[in-house]
Amino acid sequence: MKPWTPTNPAFADAVRASFTRQSMMATLGAAIVRLAPGEVDLAAPFAPQFGQQNGFWHAGAVASLADSANGYAAFTLAPAGTDVLAVEFKINLLAPAVGDRFVACGRVVRPGRTLTVCQAEVFAETAAGGAASGPARNLVATMSSTLIVRRRASDPSFPNDG
């Protein structure tokens, strides 16, 4: 997407501090593998405790990683002192989430003062057998998200701020 300009010069620190507080990311074993204005990639290893009935990664695990990638992509462009919350997302599950590691790449499509729209792609990576070949990379899901930017001090009673 565009070369976005962050309004918070300390955006990278803000993202890392918030990511550390997301216990779900620690539970999944996720890490930030790319962090730039409007762009955040998160990676997590396959682990059997997040499976569905066939042993694939559960769609909810895929969605967790993609939702956080989009949320932090939006957060890179948010002003200091704000928080970002998803108000909705939609995921298309393109292939079974089978692999050694999953990478969710979140990108800002349109930043806004109130609402930001992001898209994520989730890849399953499998360590390849042959010496010459690199890891196989398969697109397993796409997500579009709407996120709301809020003053941190505001009442935490919601995304939707009733």
CB of 25 to a second copy, least distance (A): 8
- From residue 107, alpha-carbon distances to 121, 122, 147, 150 in Å are 9, 12, 12, 19
Site for a second copy in 46-65 (CB under 8 A): 48-55, 58-61, 63-65
Using the minimum distance from each CB to a second copy, give the nearer residue, 24 or 128: 24
The minimum distance between CB 23 and a second copy, in angstroms, equals 4
Structure tokens at 27: 């539970």
> Which backbone phi and psi does 4 adopt, to 5 degrees?
-75, 150
Return the number of other C-beta atoms located less than 10 Å from residue 106's C-beta. 29
For a second copy, which stretch binds (CB under 8 A), given 4-12, 34-42, 126-134, 154-162?
154-162
Of 101 and 112, CB closest to a second copy: 112
Which residue, 133 or 157, has its beta carbon nearer to a second copy? 157
Q: In what helix (H) or strand (E) does residue 69 lie, and over which residues does it extend?
A: helix 59-75
Site for a second copy in 81-140 (CB under 8 A): 83, 85-96, 109-117, 119, 139
Residues 6+ positions from 151 with CB-CB distance below 8 Å: 81, 82, 83
Burial of 12 from C-beta contacts in 10 A (0-12 / 13-18 / 19+): middle
Pattern 9-28, a second copy, x by CB under 8 A: ---------xx-xxxx-xx-
Residues that bind a second copy (CB under 8 A): 18-19, 21-24, 26-27, 48-55, 58-61, 63-65, 67-68, 83, 85-96, 109-117, 119, 139, 142, 144, 146, 148, 156-162
